[in-house]
Amino acid sequence: MPERKSTPIEMVVATTEEIQGAIERIAREGAKKLLQAALEAEVEEHLSRYEHIKDAEGHRLVVRNGHAPRRLILTGVGAVAVRRPRIDEREVCISSSGNPQKDRAKIPISWWGFLPGPSDA
CB 50 within 8 A of CB 109: yes
- 80 class by beta-carbon count within 10 Å (0-12 exposed, 13-18 middle, 19+ buried): buried
In this structure, are strands 85-89 and 62-67 parallel, antiparallel, or unpaired? antiparallel
CB 51 within 8 A of CB 62: yes
* 69: three-class secondary structure by DSSP: coil
Q: Which amino acid is at 55?
A: D
Q: Is the pTM of this model over 0.85?
A: no
Pick out the chain residues at pLDDT < 70.
Answer: 1-2, 6-12, 91-121
Structure confidence at residue 38 (pLDDT):
92
Rounded to whole angstroms, the Cα distance separating 110 from 40 reads: 17
Could you tell me how many residues make up the chain? 121
Structure confidence at residue 121 (pLDDT):
44
Residue-wise pLDDT tens digits, 54-78: 878 888 888 888 888 999 999 988 9
Structure confidence at residue 119 (pLDDT):
47
Find all residues with CB under 8 Å of 75, minimum gap 6, and list them.
28, 31, 35
Structure confidence at residue 120 (pLDDT):
47
